[in-house]
Amino acid sequence: MTVWSCGYRFSGGEGLLGGTVRSVSVQVFKNQSRWSDLDVIITNDIITALRQSRSVNLVTASSGHLLCGTIEKVQVDTLNRSSDGAPQEKYVEITISTYLANKNGKKIWQSRPITEIEAYFPAQDHQDTLYAQKLAMKQASQRLAQWVISELGQGF
């Protein structure tokens, strides 16, 4: 499930990616969550989505526009429980915000927070549950990356 609100928009013209923006560097996301490796996962998913879009060149930070982001919140909770109170289904909810800065560091685009939710099934074994949770985070991260690239490619 994707939940978002509109980013800032300008009328007319083509999208930023492949339009006015031809080269981008992706900065590792700031991580305000307790999930220590989620910043790298989301950053890598955005880089992968940019490569697949083929709309811009990926470059070093000093030679292009800079795409930055923050992991605002990660929540893990139970969706439903069995009659004995044990969790039967859980979910992970990830909220990020992003912005694109020009070569001079001025923000030229900024999103509002976007949230992705992915459900998973806990296992009897704790390690298996952590693995399922990690997969859910990865799936949510990939959808977040696609959303960011899609928004940057929209007409401005």
CA gap 61, 84 in Å, rounded: 53
Rounded to 5 degrees, φ, ψ at 4 are: -155, 165
pLDDT digits (tens, 9 = 90+) for 33-75: 999 899 999 999 999 998 888 777 788 777 778 999 999 999 9
pLDDT digits (tens, 9 = 90+) for 90-139: 999 999 999 999 888 899 999 889 999 999 999 999 999 999 999 999 99
Q: If one looks up domain 2-6+25-153 in CATH, what number appears? A: 3.30.160.150
CA gap 30, 67 in Å, rounded: 12
pTM for this one?
0.84
Nearest to 145 by CA among 19, 35, 10, 38: 38
Domain boundary assignment for the chain: 2-6+25-153
pLDDT surpassing 70 at residue 7:
no
Bridge partners, residue 57, by sequence: 23
152 burial (CB, 10 Å; 0-12 / 13-18 / 19+) is buried
Q: What are 140's two structure tokens?
A: 């949510």
* Rg, C-alpha atoms of the chain: 17
